[in-house]
């Protein structure tokens, strides 16, 4: 694959391969409210209705989620690993909160552009680029990619 490449993952930082963690590749981590994560995952897995897995009640699933048995381990340690990396290596890991992205999308898109080292020539070009990024990354568009 030609560069630049984009990879989306839910994998905890310690589980990433060294080809990512020990390289100059940039990581953007988006942290989300743990309750919202649970509700979203519950709805997603409920729609999938996997035959190979026993059905769980909402209460059972919530207990497993809180104990790190469901998903990619405990939310707190998952988030904390990326946060610590963003403090230790701010040029490598950009830590964002989903709720902040929704609240001030333009500001955070500018942060991402700067973090990635993208060059924008003119103010008009910058505005158009940010508008296009926001339009292409709307929830409805991203949901269709899953």
Q: Render pLDDT for 14-29 as a digit per residue (tens, 0 to 9).
A: 999 999 999 989 999 9
Residue 84: phi and psi, rounded to 5, are -60, -40
9/72 same-domain check = yes
57/127 same-domain check = no
Domain ranges, residue 127 = 104-146
Of 58, 75, 98, the residue that ends a domain is 98
First-residue to last-residue Cα distance in the chain: 21
8/70 same-domain check = yes
pLDDT digits (tens, 9 = 90+) for 65-91: 888 877 666 788 889 999 999 999 999
pTM attached to this predicted model: 0.80
Of 98, 119, 136, the residue that ends a domain is 98
Is 108 among the catalytic positions?
A: no
We report the CATH number of the domain holding residue 3 as 3.40.50.300
pLDDT for position 97: 96
90/120 same-domain check = no
- On whether the CB atoms of residues 110 and 134 are closer than 8 A, the answer is no
- The share of the chain scoring above pLDDT 70, in percent, equals 83
Q: Which member of 10, 64, 89, 102 is catalytic?
A: 10
């Amino acid at each position: 694959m030609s560069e630049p490449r984009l990879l989306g993952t839910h994998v905890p930082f310690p589980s990433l391969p060294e080809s990512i963690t020990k390289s100059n590749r940039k990581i953007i981590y988006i942290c989300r409210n743990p309750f919202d994560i649970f509700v979203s995952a519950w709805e997603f897995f409920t729609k999938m209705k996997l035959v190979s897995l026993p059905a769980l009640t909402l209460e059972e699933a919530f207990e497993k989620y809180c104990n790190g048995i469901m998903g990619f381990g405990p939310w707190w340690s998952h988030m904390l690993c990326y946060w610590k990396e963003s403090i230790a290596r701010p040029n490598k890991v950009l830590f964002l909160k989903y709720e902040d992205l929704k609240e001030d999308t333009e500001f955070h898109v500018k942060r991402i552009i700067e973090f990635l080292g993208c060059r924008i020539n003119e103010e008009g070009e910058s505005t158009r680029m940010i508008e296009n990024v926001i339009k292409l990354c709307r929830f409805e568009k991203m949901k269709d990619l899953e």
